[in-house]
Amino acid sequence: MRRIFQIGGEETECWLAHDGSRFVLNTPEGVLPCRLDPTTSPGGFVLRARGLVRDVRLAAGPEATFVHMDGRTYEVGRVDPAERLAGSDGGASDDRLVAPMPGVVVSVAVKPGDIVAAGQPLLVIESMKLETTLAAPRDGVVAEIPFAAGDSFGLKDVLAQLAPEED
């Protein structure tokens, strides 16, 4: 089944298939044979593709999967085609950073009133022993940071809110 994923703000359509001996990731750029073997650590896997071998940790939530690899964390969001067809454009959700799963705030880098640039780190969270830096989705002004370092949060709690863009 084809899926739409969002990585770094860019959407891509891809799907995973099995050719009888291995998994194959089909992307717009072509076919990528790959293998994902579990390790003994929670959420840990070894990814093998194109002769490369990488240790990865995965933490999956209802809205996104976080992939920790090579010292970086990538958020892979899933786009719901039904919402897209219904005309949902995200709207105010572009102003909020919502928790993809329950966790704890590790650190907060900004406060309400701070001017931030798209991609600027706002806070670091930990979910399932995986630290993830959450960044500003756009340029703007921080309106609210409802949690402090050490606070626990739940699924879909708003972790940061930017002030609405003025037209």
Position 104 scores a pLDDT of 93
CB of 63 within 8 A of CB of 51? no
The pLDDT of residue 15 is above 80 = no
Share of the chain above pLDDT 90, in %: 25
Q: What is the pLDDT of residues 65-108, one digit of tens each?
A: 888 888 888 888 777 654 554 444 433 456 888 887 788 999 99
CA 153, 156, 159, 161: dihedral to nearest 10 degrees? -150
Position 81 scores a pLDDT of 55
Task: Cite the beta strand spans of 128-166 per DSSP E.
Answer: 130-135, 140-144, 152-153, 158-162
- Mean residue pLDDT of the chain comes to 81
